[in-house]
Chain A
Amino acid sequence: MTKILNFFNIGRVGNYPLYMVLPAVIVLLLLTIYPFIYLVYVSLYIWPISPTLPRIFLGFGQFTYLFSNPAFIESMQVTINLMVVGVTIQISLGMLLAILLSTKSRITNYFTLPFMVPVFVSPVVVGLIWKFMFNYDLGILNYLLNVIGLESVNWLGTTTTAFWSVVIIDTWQWTPFTTLIIKAGLDSMDPTPQEAATVDGASRFQIFTLVTFPSIAPIFAVALLFRTLDAFKAFDIIYIVTRGGPGGSTYVLGYNIWKTAFYQNQLGLAAAMSVVMIIIATILAFILVRIMKGLMER
C-alpha cells in the first residue's frame, strides 16, 4: 500500500510543491527584500522627495546624526514607554477577560462577539471617536467627570494626560486581541492536572500560578510579543489624535519617520530612522519566531 502511494506521489508530484510556493515567495521578496536593500541605499543620501532636487551622498552621516539627536532619542524613548505601558495593561486585562469569558455559564457566551468589535474597526475611526470623547469642552468623558463632581481633565492638552489618553485608546482597541489569544490557550488546556491539584487540596491561587499559568505560558508569550511588535508600529491613532504632541509626549518612531519623510521631505533621514527601526523589529520578531517554533514542535 505505502509503496503504491509512494509511487503515485513521486509519479504525480514531481516539483509541484515547490512551484506552488514560488509565486507567493517571489512576490513577497519583490515587495520586501528589494525595497529593504533600496532603503539602505536611500539612507546613505540626503534624498529630497522631489526628484528634481539634488541628492547628496553622506555615507553613514545620517546615522551618526540620529544618535546624537536628542529628538530622535526621545522619540525612541516615547515609543518604548508607550509599548511597555500599553502592552502591560493590555496583556493583564486580556488575562482577566479571558478568565472571565471562560466562566462556565451560558451568559458569558453573549459577551464574546461584542468584545471582538474594536479589533475590526479601522484605527482611524477609533482615533476619531476617542478624540471626540476626549474633547475638553464637548467631550462626554469630561461631562461624566463633572457629573460625579470631578474637575474636567485636559485629556489631550498636557504631556502626561496625552500619553495616558493614547494608552487608553490603544487598550480599548487591542485588549480584545490579547483576550482572544489567551482564551484560546485556556480552552485548549488539558483539565486533568487542574483536577488532580484540586483533589490534592491546592488553593485556587496555587492552581492558577503553579498549574494553569505555566501551561499557557508559551501562548501568553505569543500574545505579548504580537502586541509588542504591533505597538512598536504605532502610527494611525497618534496621527489622528495627538500628532505627536503636546511637547513630543506621544512622538512615536512611526510618526517621526512619516513626518520626516512626507512632511519635511527628508526621505534619506527617514530611511536611516527606518533602518534603525527595522533592526529593532527584527530582534523582536526573532524572539517571537523562536517561541512560536517551540510551541509548534511541542
Chain B
Amino acid sequence: MIGKISRFELTIRVILLVVFFLFFMFPIYWMVATSLKNTVDIFSIPPKWFFKISLDNYWYIISDDSGFLKKIFNSSIASILNAIFTLLLTFPAAYSMSRYKTGGINLLMWFLSIRMIPPIVGAIPLFIIFSKLGLVDTFIALPILYIVINLPFAIWMIKSFIDEIPKEIDESAYVEGCSTTGVIIKIIIPLIRPGIFATLVFCFIMAWNEFLIAYIFTRKEAITAPVGVARFITERQILWGYITAGATLASILPIVLLVIFQKNLVRGLTLGAVK
C-alpha cells in the first residue's frame, strides 16, 4: 500500500492484527487445551484456564478400543496414494501445457472448471458405479475419487512452477542432443523439486482433510480420521474429551506441513495466483 503511514496508524493496524490473530488462533488453542483436560475440568463452569494436564483422552484415543489409530493409518494410505496418483497424471500434462501450450487456455480452464463441481453431485452416480464394482469401503476408492478434487489444483500448481523455468534452458539442452525425456529428467524435475514436493503435500493435505466423500464411500474398514472424529458424536452424548483429542491428532500433520511448506502451499490453494 502507500509507503509511509503515521505511527498512530501503525499502532491501530497492529492492534487490529492482534485482534484477528486471537480470533483465528483461539479456537485452535481451545481445542488443544480441552483435549488435555480431564472430564471434570472439561465440564467445569467457569471454564478452567489453568488446569492439571491429563493425557487420559489421548490414552483412550490411541487404545484399541477407539480404533482411531487405524483411521489415522487409513487416512495416510488414502492421502499418500492419492498424492502419488495425482502427481503421475499431472506432471506430464502440466509439462506439455507449459512447454507446448497443449490445449491452450481452454484446456487449462477446463481443468479449473472441474474444481467447481460440488462433490455431492459427483458422489451420487459414482456411489452407484463404485457399489456395482465392489469398490465401496476399499482402500483404493478414496485415492481414485480424490483425483477429481486434487488434479485441477495440481495441474495449475505444477504448470506455474514449470513456467518459471526459462525455455532457453530446455533449448540449449536440445541443442546439445538431449531428448525430451532427458530434458524432463535432467533439467525440469531437479529444478522444480520444491514445487513437486509442495504439490504432493498439497494433495496429501486436501485428501487428509476431506470428509464428505470419505463419509459416503467408507463403511468400516477404510474409515478415515475426519469420519472417525465425527463418529464420536453419538446419539446419547457428545464425548468432547475424545473429540478434541482426535481432532488435535487429525490436525497436527496438516499444520506442521503448512509451517514447513507455507509459501508453495498457498500457491496451490490459489491456483498459482500467488507467486
Binding site for B on A (CB under 8 A): 4-5, 8-9, 12-13, 16-18, 20-21, 23-25, 27-28, 31-32, 35-36, 38-39, 42, 51, 96-97, 99-105, 107-108, 111-126, 128-133, 137-138, 140, 143, 147, 172, 176-177, 180-181, 183-184, 186, 188, 194-195, 198, 204, 207, 212, 219, 222, 229, 232-233, 235-236, 239-240, 254, 257-258, 261-262, 267, 270-271, 274, 277-278, 281-282, 284-286, 288-289, 292-293, 296-297
Contact = CB atoms under 8 A, between A and B. Distances in A.
Given A31-B148, A285-B113, A257 B121 contact: yes
B251 A121 contact: yes
B256 to A, nearest CB: 10
B46 interface: yes
B142 interface: no
A6 B107 CA distance: 24
Contact of A125 (B23, B45, B250, B269): B250
Interface of B: 1-3, 5, 10, 13-14, 16-17, 20-21, 23-25, 27-28, 30-31, 34, 42-43, 45-47, 89-90, 92-93, 95-97, 99-100, 102-103, 105, 107, 109, 111-114, 116-129, 131, 144-145, 147-148, 151, 155, 171, 174-175, 179-180, 205, 208-212, 216, 225-227, 229-230, 233, 238, 240, 243-244, 247, 250-251, 254-255, 257-259, 262, 265-266, 269-270, 273-275
B126 A31 contact: yes
A198 B22 CA distance: 35
Nearest to A139: B47
Contacts of B216: 258, 262
Say what secondary structure dominates the interface of chain B. Answer: helix
Contact of A21 (B92, B179, B244, B266): B92
A223 to B, nearest CB: 9
Say what secondary structure dominates the interface of chain A. Answer: helix
Given A12-B174, A115-B24, A128-B247, A38 B125 contact: yes
A129 B27 contact: yes
A233 B42 CA distance: 34
Question: B123, B225, B243 — which one has the most chain A CB atoms within 10 A of its CB?
Answer: B123
Contacts of A274: 118, 120-121, 124
A146 B99 CA distance: 62
Given A121-B254, A128-B233, 11 more contacts: A20-B92, A42-B124, A100-B17, A118-B24, A122-B211, A122-B254, A180-B269, A181-B274, A222-B273, A254-B212, A257-B124
A116 B262 contact: yes
Given A32-B122, A204-B2, A292-B109, A122 B208 contact: yes
Contacts of B258: 113, 116-117, 120
A130 B3 CA distance: 39
B47 A143 contact: yes
A11 to B, nearest CB: 10
- A-B pairs, top 8 by smallest CB distance, nearest first, are A122-B209, A17-B100, A20-B92, A20-B96, A285-B116, A35-B125, A184-B274, A38-B125
A240 B262 CA distance: 28
